[in-house]
Amino acid sequence: MAHSHKAKHYTGLMDWLTTVDHKKIGILYLIAGGLFFLMGGVEAILIRIQLLYPDNKIFIGDTFNALTTMHGTTMIFFAAMPIIFAFMNAVVPLQIGARDVAFPFVNALGFWLFFFGGVMLNTSWFLGGAPAAGWTAYVPLAGIVDSTSSYHGVDFYVLGLQIAGLGTLIGGINFLVTIINMRAPGMTYMRMPLFTWTAFITSALILFAFPAITVGLVELMFDRLFGGAFFEVSKGGNPVLWEHLFWIFGHPEVYILILPAFGIISEIVSTFSKKRLFGYSSMVFATALIGFLGFMVWVHHMFTTGIGPVGNAIFAVATMAIAIPTGVKIFNWLFTLWGGQITFSTANIFATAFIPTFVMGGTTGVMLAVPAADFQYHDTYFVVAHFHYVIVGGLVLGLFAGAYYWWPKMFGRLLNETLGKIHFWTFFIGFHLTFFPQHFLGLMGMPRRVFTYQPGVGLEEGNFISTIGAFLMGIGMIVFLINIIATSRLPQNAPADPWDGRTLEWAIPSPPPEYNFKQTPLVRGLDPLWKEKMAGNKEMTPAEPIGSIHMPSPSILPLIFSIGFFIAGFGFMYHTYSVSAVGMGIMLLTMFLRSVYDDHGYHIEPEELNDKGVKA
């Protein structure tokens, strides 16, 4: 052996708790995000059950407020974000021809911080009550603290999001470094797949947007736990400051969510049309422009706060401008489909259904960008319908498309197409039944965040249809779970390239070996695998001879560090500083161990590669 470092190999549960392999971390993100998605979905169905009939008294008052708060917070921060990170972890290093992410240890740390942040938030249900101030946590609702009360709901929100947000931030930095530094030879920026481009710009948005919410959460934590005065009017604070900090983060967050879905749709539409993506360079620049303009529109969430006509007008124009690069993307997808040899697999049905559905969400977004009109729409169900058309009709359909597309690459098994199509139709019809009537409920004056409504004012039919639609979406999710369970019992026999793909992830076995590529591939153009196929080659042209491959060692430290942070959070929340000291001590100890122990990793030698009989 040329290298003396021995490999640490764990099996079973320990393997998953200590892994720093980007592919396994992607699966961990997918499982955790999926569990939180189911929790958020159950909360949504409970909300709709309460609104099924007027004057229902099932979930009322603070219980209803807690359901709406937890549904929104869970879906945005703990379901959508981790599933996006699941695909970024599973796919981006493969698409750029890398053997791992730039910082595997930090990647694992990012996952465990996110996971324990989500666990902390959801323990609030069992420890005195979940947060009930709305998912935006507007003060003074989120700022009121009664020293005699045992209610800590908003504290769980603040500390849970702080811990999870730190994990997301370091994850975003990791992907920025990975994409900048670890592309295969020949993989120039303008040869990167669209999904990698959207992951890159999303990571940049995370880097610049998350500090704003971090500052806001720290200030809210000081107000609640230490008697601060950032948002307390009686002490000279300003509640509108929270709105600015939240939405300076919150609107880029919308694009952090939707841009990866744009990337997924671009990959799938191109693959299943048997065509290169139409207008590739314009798609790249449109993505970058959306990311840039996303930081200039946050006040359209605040038109009614009294900023004044000049401020409102500036942000209205910026909001309308962001529709232009989005429109470029829509037409490019349509032109990619136009004249293509289209295969309507489940992945492509979700992708093509995404296009008109997202256009509907964008259209109502432009309506809300008009300040005078927004004064009427604001805080009505029209806004609820709008952002669900964007987030569910856009992001979630995109994530389902990505799941069916990349499932064989991640797990080595193809999901059942028949069950997939049943899942699509039940979910898609249920989605439109749920949210289309809500536009009209809003225009008729039904406010958001109310747990009841009066009979005889014309709101019964819309709410009844909306609730039936929510149940249909739930049935679609059950079909999806059945598909996953049934597929997991099959052998791992998916081909390396089941869809006749165009990008590098389809050039290696499914699931990929731990080192991804036996030899780093040489990229000779856009859609590199397709280019090799057209040249008559069976596999990618290697950029290097077969040699020793360096691999990072697994580590339990990211998990232990995150547990320490979790413990410290509870100590601060309950003013039990001895507990905080224990948690902080665990964190410092893991940081010390990481600093002083020089882990060189291990190597996989060429003879081991050949023994495994793996084809590059």
Domain boundaries defined on the chain: 20-540
Bin 452: left if φ > 0, else alpha if -120 < ψ < 50, else beta.
beta
Predicted confidence at residue 123, as pLDDT, reads 95
Which pLDDT tens digit goes with each residue over 439-493?
999 999 999 999 999 999 999 999 999 999 999 999 999 999 999 999 999 999 9
Confidence label for 1 from pLDDT (cuts 50, 70 and 90): very low
* Band of residue 226 on the pLDDT scale cut at 50, 70, 90: confident
Q: Is 31 exposed, middle or buried (0-12, 13-18, 19+ CB in 10 A)?
A: middle
Q: What is the fold, at CATH topology level, of the domain defined by 20-540?
A: Cytochrome C Oxidase; Chain A (1.20.210)
**Residue 252 CB partners (closer than 8 Å, separation 6+):** 205, 208, 209, 291, 294, 295, 298
pLDDT reading at 159 higher than 70:
yes
Residue 249's Cβ-side half-sphere holds a number of Cα atoms within 13 Å equal to 21
CB count within 10 Å of CB 313 equals 11
Residue with structure tokens 């249900």? Answer: 125
Distance CA 169, CA 329 (A): 27
Question: What proportion of the chain, given as a percentage, has pLDDT over 90?
Answer: 88
Q: Positive or negative CA dihedral for 333, 338, 341, 343?
A: positive
Q: What is the pLDDT of residue 613?
A: 42
Q: Residue 409: what pLDDT?
A: 96
**Among the listed residues 8, 25, 7, 82, the one whose alpha carbon sits nearest the alpha carbon of residue 558:** 25
pLDDT of residue 144: 75
Q: How many Å separate Cα 319 from the centre of its chain? A: 23
In this prediction, residue 3 has a pLDDT band, given cuts at 50, 70 and 90, of low
Helix (H, G, I), strand (E, B) or coil at 96: coil
Look at residue 67 in the predicted model and tell me its pLDDT: 96
pLDDT tens figures, 251-282:
999 999 999 999 999 999 999 999 999 999 99
Quickly state the pLDDT bin for 615 (edges 50, 70, 90).
Answer: very low
Q: What's the whole-number average pLDDT of the chain?
A: 94
Taking each helix axis as running N to C, give the angle between helix 62-73 and helix 104-123, from 0 to 180 degrees, rounded to the nearest 10: 170
Q: Which two tokens stand for residue 352?
A: 């093509």
Q: How confident is the model at residue 2 (pLDDT cuts 50, 70, 90)?
A: very low
pLDDT at 7: 60
Distance CA(144)–CA(122), nearest Å, equals 21
State the CB neighbour count (10 A cutoff) for residue 153: 23
What integer pLDDT is reported at residue 150 of this predicted model? Answer: 67
Task: Please determine, for residue 34, whether its predicted confidence score (pLDDT) is greater than 60.
Answer: yes
| Element housing 86 (H / E) | helix 81-95
pLDDT computed for residue 252 by the predictor? 95
Encoding tokens for residue 523? Answer: 């990229």
Q: Are residues 494 and 412 in contact, defined by beta-carbon separation less than 8 angstroms?
A: yes
- What local confidence, expressed as pLDDT, does residue 8 receive? 67
pLDDT band at 349 (very low <50, low <70, confident <90, very high): very high
- What confidence tens digit (pLDDT) does each residue in 38-97 have? 999 999 999 999 999 999 999 999 999 999 999 999 999 999 999 999 999 999 999 999
Mean pLDDT of 146-161: 82
**pLDDT value at position 225?**
84
Residues 542-585 have pLDDT tens digits of 999 999 999 999 999 999 999 999 999 999 988 899 999 999 99
Q: What 3-state class would DSSP assign to 133?
A: coil
Sign of CA dihedral 9, 14, 18, 23: positive
Residue 614 banded pLDDT, cuts 50, 70, 90: very low
Q: What is the pLDDT of residue 616?
A: 36
Q: Distance between CA 246 and CA 248 in Å, rounded?
A: 6
d(CA 473, CA 427): 4
pLDDT band at 228 (very low <50, low <70, confident <90, very high): confident
Residue given tokens 């064989």 in the structure block: 408
pLDDT above 90 for 587: yes
Rounded Cα–Cα distance for residues 268 and 279 (Å): 15
Between CA 259 and CA 264 the distance in angstroms is 9
DSSP conformation letters of 267-332: HHHHHHHTSPPTTHHHHHHHHHHHHHHGGG-GGGG-GGGS--HHHHHHHHHHHHHTHHHHHHHHHH
**pLDDT score recorded for residue 465:** 97
